[in-house]
Structure 1
């Protein structure tokens, strides 16, 4: 069941919907046989209330009340006399061209023609009565009366009485209840603006087109008369026809494929090995109590072989609720609302405000209120929404496996694939999460036994001041705790874990593609390709003939879009520059605050406090800029005026992902690859804005990088979960507390469709895009910099376990039900994950080689019999500054690989060579493993490929059999006739 909400529905919409019109006429005691709906257009001028409104269009629609059918439609243009040239405002408002009125007769002649038509429908001898109707009082009371006086013709007696449909509509009550596949929910909002008439006409044509196509229209009014619901029921045969057009796959009867049942999809060795490690094989109690679909063969539905499909005899079972809603939505997108080829589809009516919302109704309440005697429909206490809520949509169900088939049936394949991907991703994080936690525990258990950490804690090194003025010298032992803590994440096990994660990313993507193929086969969308239509927001400036169809269509020149894309690119560059400026500002903050704190605290404390507060500031900046740029990216993409939805989504995704990526990782890249690399040495420091450059702490930048990653990644997850989980509940609680008592009583009496419109939020315009983006950025954090934060997979695992249920809860209780849509895969996000996977090899290699202390330690061990004795003397050399030149920086130690005279020595160059060598070896080995696994693991399992071919074979057999039967019937009929 669908809802379409009209923000500006005139009662003429009811008139064009026929059923409601006839109801209104009887409701008001007008025992009419025919109703004539009139909707004048008149000359007008912007911001001129005294402008004479001459009638220039006299349209009428005559309806047979008893048959509920339109029996005649006429449209007459009138040539204006006082202002024969239409104003640009009038032409734009009414859509009437100058040549149309120039060739028309004047009003008196047109009136005679109209009266001749009306006389046919008001025969007193036949007992026929004609009732005039208009949208409000303006047509007859204002426009018509003035026009008659101005044209010096008497107003016919028939025109002195009319039905004000707007007033009648407001008095509308009650309605017929029945189950339907569509619901047109129309909100009556009065307006004196004549431009409303244009939208009224579109709505009327649209609703009449639905009826002409075979839909059954029924109405319901809300108790206060403010909401009108038009239920649009799609008969079973109409759904079957649409299923054939849309190439919906349906299950074949068992007897049609009995000889091939043993050939259903079998798992390959790789899949069986992967699944054998799954706890799902052993934790059967964690399976939701939902009936699973049996294995079967499917084929594209065809009317000619309809008897070959399972449940074809049962209208309620043949289509799922999601399929029904999807099929009707597809039909709605092709229904015309005007004479032009471009005036097609509910999407355009939503865009231009003719309808304000479109959503299918939920199957029923997710909870049964014992005080509600009639929730949704009687006997509907068990519904898919309630089932999903009880087995999937609550936080307490975090460790219950997801009922993917039921999710797909209820919400459609596109949303089903999101939850399947998120579930697969979460399950794939199980091993990395556990290993990462073990790596952390290993560092936590051994950090006190490290030789260099012991030397730091027992050293008597006096360290140089952290700033040039106002800072005191400090002792290296003050950095003891933080130096030891750096071993929690910067140790030998981290290197192996980074290698594992780089390979894991590829394995995960490869196995997901296989899982995607299996789901595509099971859900009959493996070969699905959406037929693209023009976006309703697309604005064509010219017309050209389509080389394929030969029809005239709207066209937007490519060079104009290219110019706009250049403008968008320039704006993106500016916004990325803003991100760099923010990062630079945080760097200045680090320098200034560290210098200020160093004058009051020891050097280690100053560095730690600066790192934490800078991380929090970065997090706040990231969250704020994501909100700002998200809106800007939508505006820029809208401005580019893309014709197809895929082009629009691709452009928007690339913009938002690029910005979010830079916004999220800019500060991390700075700490990992630039901070402390160009600071100089005592006596020759490199300065920035008069300050010494941002330096790494005495224990290196690795721990600071870990702190930054933890704050940004975990902090974002916490903020997102709080907003997603608590905000809707808090807002509902506030509304309930603040609402007056009478409003609360009214809320208990709301019809289900009213309740969903008033109390549920509209489904986001961009669907699951924000959720995908959130998870992909998380994938980036745990892939690109796992070498610096081994707990990233563990925190991602915990977050995702909650995320699945939070997203499920939102879909079931917070949002209106989204349209069910089909999709073959998760779209561009597969490519984004592949990019991150390859890029992570470089970033992890660089972090280990140039940010970690692993390489310098190993080089020292190699040169000194496997020990780290004397290592801290090499990394904390004595300042070369002469006491006579600068006593504050003389006879003190600093962090850097230099000789006693401040120059780069042999150890520095050995470390550089080792770092480069490690990077090359690491990168080559990881890429070799990636390519090897890609070769070993094909994207589509061979069993799926064979199963698809078998389905095609069965479909051909069924079709050939149907054709043979048809030929045999034809021959038999011919013989009988002969």
Structure 2
């Protein structure tokens, strides 16, 4: 391959970096000029083979007038990147596999890394930990088949760490400047610079950030590199093989029974946003309260292991950092009382107007969901009536056999559930774009505010979208049907649905099974099959030309982009499923088992797609799962209420208990006569004319001279009573018993919940002790280091000064 040059920000008329056929290379001051070496496919270094590629930007030629503007933006942006200390190298389009894509490789020097490590308070090792590991347990041999090798589970030694400071270089363990900051930290620092680097000033407003350049098409992609191919180890000895290790030990389905290498995942990708993704899936089917409490303990342990114990203070400081979009869209400025600096702000009038529009949009879409549910109900009624009429008109022997197996009610329930699922998927797809649009419209101040607002909008919508039909079947269906001779009609035409004689639990279970299974199947298709097909199509030319050098950045460029909301959808999926297995578990006890089976598969599907189908995401830090924790707590509390109502109103447990204790005849079989007691009497001669069967359709027994009454499921006074067809006292006793059961059950469960939350500490005892010891030792080592530096300084100034020795002795 011909040589390419390191970009110095000087571009040709087309807006590209120094052309590859140039005879001289640009050179940065202070950097020794290195000879460019031939590269392998796995290389993650510049052409000199020394400087590591920390980030890659790509772009294509655009001969239009708009393309000239894009070139100007890129030129200024790259010049500003170099002014910030980043080093650039451009791969010409003639060297790319598709012949049209330019790749801009970015390297962060040691000075840049240390400067921004101090700004971002990145923790660096200063001493190897001497705290003994508690991995060995008496039953360790029992769990050995489920364990992964130690080098996979703990790829790095355990260190004591402290936020990096440039003025204390001797305090930290810096054996090799190239490895002290792992690749995840390096790409995080570079992305921090990219997201805040300006590229233009228009109308007095400074435009900045790689995200805006991606959205306006100036660049086509921005991503860090994977360290190697996933199916084989890198031939280049300088390249890591973490991706290959993860693929072998995490992404293969045959590892479904193995533990997950969370430490290696955190080192390669993100520090904690993936915190809940693997573990939450496996532990989610446990009970409400226990799951949440043990999740807090697991989270606390991961916080310690991943060095995030004090990250809350760092997050508070990061709250002062505004989103680039906020800075560019808010032109008015005021004094920040914390920083005492002038910064942009959104006027109250504009903020209120934006929130009103956002709220109205959310309410409109929720109303649309309710309208769709009503439409499905109308479908149920119409189809049930049509199927019943068809089966009545075709009472042949074969149809009678089929009818005995597939009743109109069952067929209606299944088809309506499928229709409801299709509507759910369509509304989800549409609302996703609407939610992002209205969140952008609100112009949140910080990234955390943006994520929290989007999270609440998406969860609220999906909560209503997924659960509304289930709530209808559980709490409304069959409750407002009236009684013979006085039925309730929807729209004055269709008679309201009734439950089966045994209740609506079977139909609710059918609804949950179809929605849950359909969501999981559709989710796996979207998460795995669609990215695989897209990647297969994008890399087809490379497969047709095996002789071409398909470089690491080109391979990663052809993969799918996870995006800023990649993990957001993972969490949303988990929370929605958590709702399914907690809100309606009383009606569908198999839901947790189905969720467990799905999640065992889902963990490996996610691992496979992250290691093989997606670009390496930009590393980020978080101390917890954030607002999702509060949502899980809210769903857990709501599940107590919903299950109490399901047991009370959807099943016949309470009516049976009331009959057993208050109305049974006192015989040896105390439930004798229950069915007869639960049925009311109606005189068929009281049917109104428009409710009478049509001529020729009456059954033989429908004759007042033969049978004068019929029975129906309700508690009403019989005909001839002074309160004819009104509810009996037993109805009110049953209703009171149902309400009492709900209140008692809620109070008992909440008491148990809070008792367990009090008894189970959020932070394990051994983790709390290790955190305290690490803080103590950190302070001791830091104090000793300061004394050592003071000794050195005093010794350099005057080794024989008595006053200095007195001061030093006092300090010590």
Q: So what's the TM-score if we normalise by structure 1? A: 0.69
Residue 709 of structure 2 is matched in structure 1 by: 891
Matches of 2:741 and 2:795, distance apart in 1: 82
- Once the two structures are TM-superposed, the CA of residue 876 in structure 1 deviates from its matched residue by 3.6
Q: Is the 8 A contact 2:559 2:613 kept in 1?
A: yes
In structure 2, distance between residues paired with 1:513 and 1:815: 30
Could you give the per-residue CA deviations for residues 754-776 of structure 1, whole angstroms, max 9, x where no partner exists?
A: 1221x211123312111111110
Deviation at 1:12, TM superposition (A): 4.0
Q: Deviations over 1:551-597 (max 9, x none)?
A: 54433223212112111211222211111111111111111122222
How far apart are the structure 2 equivalents of 1:332 and 1:954?
37
Question: Alpha-carbon deviation of 1:631?
Answer: 1.2
- Relative to 1, partners in 2 of residues 1:924 and 1:618: Cα closer, same or farther, differing over 3 Å? same
Alpha-carbon shift at residue 509 of structure 1 (Å): 1.0
Q: Does 1:209 align with 2:69?
A: no
Query: SS at 2:421's partner residue?
Result: helix
Equivalent residue for 1:938?
Answer: 761
Residue 684 of structure 2 corresponds to 881
**SS state of the match for residue 336, structure 2?**
coil
Aligned length: 726
1:836-857 Cα distance to aligned partner (Å, 9 max, x none): 0111111010110111111112
Asked whether the equivalents of residues 875 and 898 of structure 1 are also in contact (C-alpha less than 8 Å), the reply is: no
Paired position in structure 1 for 2:262: 404
Answering whether residue 383 of structure 2 is matched by residue 509 of structure 1, we say no
Task: Please tell me whether the aligned partners of residues 763 and 815 of structure 1 are also in contact (alpha carbons under 8 angstroms).
Answer: yes
Within 2, Cα distance between the matches of 1:839 and 1:297?
A: 42
> 1:771-786 alignment to 2 at 5 Å?
771-786=570-585
- Could you say which residue in structure 1 is the equivalent of 2:279? 423
Deviation at 1:962, TM superposition (A): 2.4
| Structure-2 separation of matches of 1:726 and 1:185 | 27
- C-alpha distance after superposition, 1:635-655 (max 9, x if no partner): 111222223222222221111
1:241–1:730 Cα change, 3 Å: closer
Partner of 2:35: none
Question: Which of 708, 723, 734 is matched with 1:911 structurally?
Answer: 734
Rounded to whole Å, the distance in 1 between the matches of 2:793 and 2:111 is 24
Distance in 1 between the 2:267 and 2:206 partners? 32
Is 1:244 the equivalent of 2:244?
Answer: no
1:451-470 aligned within 5 A? none
Shift, 1:748, TM fit? 5.2
Residue of structure 2 aligned with 1:687, choices 478, 484, 489: 489
Mapped partners of 2:240, 2:442: distance in 1:
47
Task: Assess, with a 3 A threshold, how the Cα gap between structure 1 residues 381 and 643 changes in structure 2: closer, same or farther.
Answer: closer
SS at match of 2:332: strand
Q: In the alignment, which of 500, 503, 507 is matched to residue 704 of structure 1?
A: 507
Give how far 1:634 is off.
1.1
CA shift at 1:175, angstroms?
5.5
Question: 1:941: how far off?
Answer: 3.4
* Alpha-carbon distance between aligned partners in 2 of 1:346 and 1:735, rounded to the nearest angstrom: 24
Aligned pairs for 1:36-115 within 5 A: none
Q: Give the match's secondary structure for 2:222.
A: strand
> Which has the higher Rg, Structure 1 or Structure 2?
1
Cα offset for 1:517? 1.4
Moved more, 880-889 or 807-816: 880-889
TM-superposition CA deviations, 1:309-348 (whole Å, max 9, x none): 44x2123442322222223323333444457895554344
**1:527, distance to aligned residue in structure 2 (A):** 2.2
Counterpart mapping for 1:316-465 below 5 A: 316-337=178-199, 342-368=206-232, 378-379=236-237, 383-419=241-277, 422-427=278-283, 429=285, 432=286
Distance (Å, rounded) in 2 between the aligned partners of 1:581 and 1:925: 37
Deviations 1:642-692 (CA, angstroms, capped at 9, x unpaired): 232222222211111111000111111111111111111111111222221
Query: Structure 2 regions of 5+ residues with no counterpart?
Result: 1-8, 31-45, 393-402, 703-707, 720-724, 802-812
Question: Which residues of 2 match residues 18-33 of structure 1 at below 5 A?
Answer: 20=18, 25-26=22-23
Q: Deviations over 1:793-839 (max 9, x none)?
A: 00110111111111111111111111011111111100000000111
Deviation at 1:789, TM superposition (A): 0.3
Partners of 1:358 and 1:800 lie apart in 2 by 31
How far apart in 2 are the matches of 1:381 and 1:206?
29
Which among 451, 473, 478 is matched to residue 649 of structure 1?
Answer: 451
Report whether the alignment pairs 1:571 with 2:361: yes
Contact 2:435 2:458 in 1 (8 A): yes
* CA shift for structure 1 position 896: 2.5
* Aligned residue in 2 for 1:218: 89
SS of match in other structure, 1:894: strand
Give the conservation status (yes or no) of the 8 Å contact 1:542–1:555.
Answer: yes
* Aligned equivalent of 1:535, options 323, 329, 332: 323
CA RMSD in angstroms comes to: 3.2
Q: Distance in 1 between matches of 2:242 and 2:383?
A: 57
Q: How does 1:814-893 map to 2 (within 5 A)?
A: 814-862=613-661, 863-864=663-664, 865=666, 867-882=670-685, 886=692, 891-893=709-711
Instruction: Pick the aligned partner of 1:555 from 324, 335, 345.
Output: 345
| Among candidates 512, 516, 520, match of residue 303 of structure 2 | 520
| Structure 1: stretches of 5+ with no match in the other structure | 1-8, 28-64, 71-173, 369-374, 433-503
Alpha-carbon displacement from aligned partner over 1:11-64 (angstroms, at most 9, x marks no partner): 4499896xx36x65437xxxxxxxxxxxxxxxxxxxxxxxxxxxxxxxxxxxxx
> Is the CA contact (8 Å cut-off) linking 1:299 and 1:951 kept in structure 2?
no
Deviations 1:254-304 (A, max 9, x none): 3xx65xx36x8x79xxxx9xx99xx98723122223152555433223344
Q: Secondary structure at the match of 2:175?
A: coil
Q: Which residue of 1 aligns with 2:105?
A: 231
Give 1:229 deviation, angstroms: 2.9
Cα distance, 1:611 vs structure 2: 1.3
Q: Distance in 1 between matches of 2:166 and 2:230?
A: 36
State the secondary structure of the residue aligned to 1:699. coil
Change (3 A) 1:242 1:798: same
Q: SS state of the match for residue 283, structure 1? A: helix
Indicate if the aligned counterparts of 1:304 and 1:959 stay in contact, CA closer than 8 A: no
Shift in alpha-carbon separation, 1:204–1:297, aligned structure 2, 3 A: same
Tell whether the 8 Å contact from 2:424 to 2:466 is kept in structure 1 after alignment.
yes
User: Does the Cα contact within 8 Å between 2:153 and 2:262 map onto a contact in 1?
Assistant: no
Between the aligned partners of 1:281 and 1:892, the Cα distance in structure 2 is 68
Answer with 285-294 or 516-525: which moved more.
285-294
* 1:209-229 alpha-carbon deviations (Å, 9 max, x no partner): 333444333333342563333
- Partners in 2 of 1:656 and 1:281 — Cα distance? 45
Which runs of structure 2 are paired with 1:128-277 in the superposition (5 Å)? 176-193=48-65, 196-222=67-93, 223=95, 226-254=100-128, 258=130, 261=131
> Structure 1 CA distance, aligned partners of 2:740 and 2:439?
44
What CA distance in whole angstroms lies between the structure 2 residues aligned with 1:664 and 1:335? 42
In 2 relative to 1, CA 683–874 (structure 1 residues): closer, same or farther, beyond 3 Å? same
Alignment partners' CA distance in 2, 1:427 and 1:826: 15
TM-score where L is the length of structure 2: 0.82
CA distance in 2 between partners of 1:765 and 1:595 (Å): 49
CA contact (8 A) 2:281 2:574 kept: no
Q: CA deviation at 1:351?
A: 4.1
| Cα deviation, residue 892, structure 1 | 3.0
CA contact (8 A) 2:274 2:567 kept: no
Distance in 1, matches of 2:437 and 2:196, equals 27
Counterpart-to-counterpart distance in 1, 2:649 and 2:527: 38
Q: Distance in 1 between matches of 2:366 and 2:15?
A: 54
Query: Which segment is superposed worse, 675-684 or 942-951?
Result: 942-951
Matched, 1:621 2:430: no
Which deviations, in whole Å up to 9, do the C-alpha atoms of 1:81-135 show, x marking residues without a partner?
xxxxxxxxxxxxxxxxxxxxxxxxxxxxxxxxxxxxxxxxxxxxxxxxxxxxxxx
Deviates more, 1:649-658 or 1:636-645: 636-645
Contact kept, 8 Å, 2:208 with 2:324, in 1: the verdict is no
SS at match of 2:344: strand
